[in-house]
C-alpha cells in the first residue's frame, strides 16, 4: 500500500473510531438463545495451510456459533481490512500480522481485551513479543494466534561437499561469508547464500535480526515519539556484509529483483547453501524440495550472539462487531492448549503458548526445537507506521537495501532512508 493509500485508510480509521463512541451500545449483543450466531473471520493468505482446519474444527465443536472464513491476499490485507472496518463493514474477527497490530490499535477500531485477557489462567504463557505488539498505551487489543521465528537454514550436503562440518554451522558473519565462499568454490553452479533483495517484509524478518544480534536497531523510542537509527554502526555493518557477499558473487543474481515470490526457489534447487527464513519454510521446503537435506541454526551477529524476528499473527475482535462475546469465545478456544497443539503445532506452526511449544512441538525434531527457542526469545518491530516504513515496496527500508547492497552506495542510502523515515514518523 503506497503512502497516499495508507493516509486515506488511517484517516478513515480515525473518523470511524470517533463515530463508534456513539454507537457502542449495541456492539456487545449476540444472537438470542437457541439461535446460531454468525461470525466472520478474515485471515491472511500466509495462513492458508492451517486456518481452514482451525475454523472447521471450531464450527464442528460449537454448533451455536458459525464462523465464515475469508482469506485475504497478504499484500492486500492492511488496506482491505482498514477500509472495511472504517466503513463498518469489516469482519467480527481478524487474524492480523503482528507488525500491524500497533496501527490498528492506535486508530481505535479493535476491541480492548485487557481485562478478559488477564483473567486467562495461561496468560503468562503467551509469547511476550506478540503481547508487546498488541499493546497500545497500556491496553491490549489482540492476543497471540500463530507463531513464527526466523532462523538460518542450510543444506548439509553442500556443506559436506565443500569440506565443511554441517554439525558446526557459522556463528559469525565472517564464518557465514567464508562458508559461502567454500561452497561457491566447490563448483557445479553452487552459491553460498540467498535472500530476496526486493522484499521489505522478507528483509525485516531475515536481515534485521543480523542488526539486532550485533546490538543495533533501526528504530527507538515510544510509539508516539519514534525516531530512526539507521546510522547505527550495526546497520552499516550489516549492509556492508550483504554487499560483500553480493560483490563476491556468492548470491545468485535473482536476489536483486526477488520481491519474495521466488524466495524459496534457489534453495529448493539444491544449489544454494544458506537461506534465512521462518518456521513456515519447513513445511514449504519439505513439500517442494524433499530431497534437500535441511538443518538450521540461529541468525548470527557480526561477532557472535544471535537474534530472531518473532513473527506470526494476532487474533483481534473488531470494535464494530455486534457479537463480542461469541468472538471472545473463539479466542478462548483457539488459544487453549489442546487447540494450539492439534491445529497449530501438529501442522508445523509454532504454538504461541510457551507450555505447549516446549512440551508438544519442540520435541518433534531439532529444527522445531530451535524455532520454539527463537520465537520465545525473539522480538518484533513495533511502529504504527510499520507498513510505510518497511513493507512498502517503494519505501525507505527496501530502497536503502537496494541502493546499499546492489549499487554499493551504503552511506548515501542510509542517509536518504533515515530522512524518509523521519518524515513518515512525523505524521504520528
One-character DSSP codes across 303-352: TS-EE-BEEEEEEEEBTT-S-HHHHHHHHHHHTSHHHIIIIIGGGTPBPS
> How much is the average pLDDT of 224-253?
97
Closest residue by Cα to residue 243 from 136, 420, 403, 18? 403
The residues pairing with 350 across neighbouring beta strands, listed in sequence order, are: 147
When the pLDDT of each residue in the chain is averaged and rounded to a whole number, the result is 92
pLDDT of residue 6: 52
284 and 387 share one domain? yes
411 and 370 share one domain? no
pLDDT level of residue 24 (50, 70, 90 thresholds): very low
The string of DSSP letters for 78-117 reads HHHHHHHHHTT---SEEEEEGGGHHHHHHTT-B---HHHH
> How much is the average pLDDT of 14-29?
41
Q: Which domain holds residue 16?
A: 3-141+311-377
103 and 43 share one domain? yes
pLDDT of residue 34: 67
CA-to-CA distance for 139 and 7, rounded, in angstroms? 24
324 and 371 share one domain? yes
Note the Cα 161 to chain centre separation in Å.
34
Number of domains in the chain: 2
281 and 248 share one domain? yes
Per-residue pLDDT at 8 exceeds 60 = no
pLDDT of residue 2: 52
pLDDT level of residue 18 (50, 70, 90 thresholds): very low
278 and 358 share one domain? no
Note the Cα 197 to chain centre separation in Å.
17
Name the one residue in this structure whose C-alpha cell is 498505551. Answer: 137
pLDDT level of residue 379 (50, 70, 90 thresholds): very high
Least confidently predicted of 14-28, 63-77, 223-237: 14-28
Strands 93-97 and 306-307: unpaired
DSSP state of 11: H
Per-residue pLDDT at 32 exceeds 50 = no
pLDDT of residue 208: 98
171 and 91 share one domain? no
> How much is the average pLDDT of 175-204?
97
**β strands within 37-142, DSSP E:** 37-44, 65-72, 93-97, 135-136, 139-140
pLDDT level of residue 331 (50, 70, 90 thresholds): very high
267 and 319 share one domain? no
347 and 411 share one domain? no
Listed residues 337, 356, 377: the one ending a domain: 377
Could you tell me which residue, 410 or 12, shows the higher pLDDT?
Answer: 410
Domain with residue 290: its CATH number is 3.40.190.10
pLDDT level of residue 197 (50, 70, 90 thresholds): very high
**Contact call for residues 93 and 143 (beta carbons, < 8 A):** no
Per-residue pLDDT at 28 exceeds 60 = no
The cell numbers describing 74, all together, are 497478504
The cell numbers describing 270, all together, are 539444491
pLDDT level of residue 223 (50, 70, 90 thresholds): confident
DSSP state of 369: H
pLDDT of residue 9: 53
180 and 268 share one domain? yes
pLDDT level of residue 13 (50, 70, 90 thresholds): low
Least confidently predicted of 2-16, 84-98, 346-360: 2-16
276 and 338 share one domain? no
Name the one residue in this structure whose C-alpha cell is 519454510. Answer: 281
pLDDT level of residue 33 (50, 70, 90 thresholds): low
pLDDT tens readout for residues 106-151: 999 999 999 999 999 999 999 999 999 999 999 999 999 999 999 9
15 and 26 share one domain? yes
Per-residue pLDDT at 20 exceeds 90 = no
**Contact call for residues 341 and 351 (beta carbons, < 8 A):** yes
pLDDT level of residue 29 (50, 70, 90 thresholds): very low
Per-residue pLDDT at 178 exceeds 50 = yes
Region at 108 (left for phi over 0; alpha for psi -120 to 50; beta for the rest): left
pLDDT of residue 15: 45
Listed residues 361, 377, 393: the one ending a domain: 377
The cell numbers describing 362, all together, are 519442540
Per-residue pLDDT at 27 exceeds 60 = no
Handedness of CA 242, 246, 248, 252 (dihedral sign): positive
Amino acid at each position: 500500500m503506497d503512502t497516499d493509500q495508507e493516509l486515506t485508510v488511517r484517516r478513515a480509521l480515525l473518523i470511524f473510531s470517533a463515530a463508534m463512541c456513539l454507537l457502542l451500545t449495541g456492539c456487545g449483543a449476540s444472537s438470542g438463545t437457541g439461535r446460531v450466531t454468525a461470525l466472520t473471520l478474515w485471515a491472511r493468505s500466509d495462513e492458508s495451510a492451517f486456518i481452514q482446519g482451525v475454523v472447521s474444527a471450531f464450527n464442528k465443536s460449537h454448533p451455536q456459533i458459525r464462523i465464515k472464513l475469508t482469506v485475504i491476499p497478504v499484500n492486500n490485507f492492511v488496506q482491505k481490512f482498514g477500509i472495511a472496518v472504517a466503513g463498518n463493514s469489516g469482519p467480527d474477527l481478524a487474524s492480523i500480522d503482528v507488525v500491524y497490530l500497533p496501527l490498528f490499535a492506535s486508530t481505535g477500531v479493535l476491541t480492548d481485551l485487557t481485562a478478559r485477557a488477564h483473567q486467562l489462567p495461561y496468560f503468562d504463557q503467551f509469547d511476550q513479543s506478540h503481547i508487546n505488539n498488541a499493546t497500545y498505551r497500556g491496553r491490549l487489543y489482540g492476543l497471540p494466534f500463530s507463531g513464527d521465528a526466523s532462523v538460518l537454514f542450510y543444506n548439509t550436503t553442500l556443506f559436506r561437499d565443500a569440506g565443511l562440518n554441517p554439525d558446526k554451522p557459522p556463528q559469525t558473519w565472517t564464518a557465514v561469508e567464508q562458508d559461502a565462499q567454500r561452497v561457491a568454490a566447490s563448483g557445479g553452479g553452487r552459491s553460498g547464500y540467498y535472500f530476496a533483495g526486493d522484499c521489505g517484509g522478507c528483509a525485516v524478518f531475515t536481515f534485521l535480526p543480523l542488526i539486532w544480534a550485533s546490538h543495533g536497531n533501526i528504530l527507538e523510542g515510544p510509539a508516539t515519539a519514534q525516531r530512526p537509527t539507521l546510522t547505527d554502526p550495526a546497520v552499516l555493518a550489516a549492509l556492508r556484509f550483504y554487499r560483500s557477499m553480493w560483490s563476491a558473487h556468492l548470491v545468485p543474481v535473482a536476489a536483486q529483483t526477488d520481491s519474495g515470490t521466488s524466495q524459496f526457489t534457489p534453495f529448493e534447487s539444491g544449489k544454494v547453501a544458506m537461506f534465512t527464513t521462518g518456521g513456515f519454510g519447513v513445511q514449504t521446503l519439505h513439500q517442494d524440495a524433499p530431497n534437500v537435506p535441511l538443518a538450521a541454526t540461529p541468525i548470527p551477529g557480526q561477532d557472535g550472539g544471535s537474534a530472531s524476528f518473532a513473527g506470526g499473527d494476532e487474533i483481534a475482535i473488531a470494535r464494530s462487531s455486534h457479537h463480542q462475546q461469541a468472538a471472545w469465545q473463539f479466542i478462548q478456544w483457539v488459544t487453549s492448549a489442546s487447540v494450539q497443539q492439534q491445529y497449530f503445532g501438529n501442522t508445523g506452526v509454532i504454538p504461541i503458548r510457551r507450555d505447549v511449544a516446549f512440551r508438544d512441538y519442540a520435541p518433534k525434531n531439532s529444527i522445531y526445537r530451535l524455532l520454539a527457542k527463537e520465537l520465545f526469545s525473539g522480538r518484533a518491530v513495533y511502529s504504527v507506521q510499520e507498513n510505510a516504513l518497511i513493507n512498502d515496496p517503494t519505501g525507505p527500508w527496501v530502497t536503502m537495501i537496494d541502493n546499499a547492497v546492489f549499487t554499493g552506495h551504503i552511506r548515501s542510502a542510509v542517509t536518504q532512508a533515515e530522512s524518509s523515515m523521519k518524515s513518515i514518523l512525523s505524521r504520528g
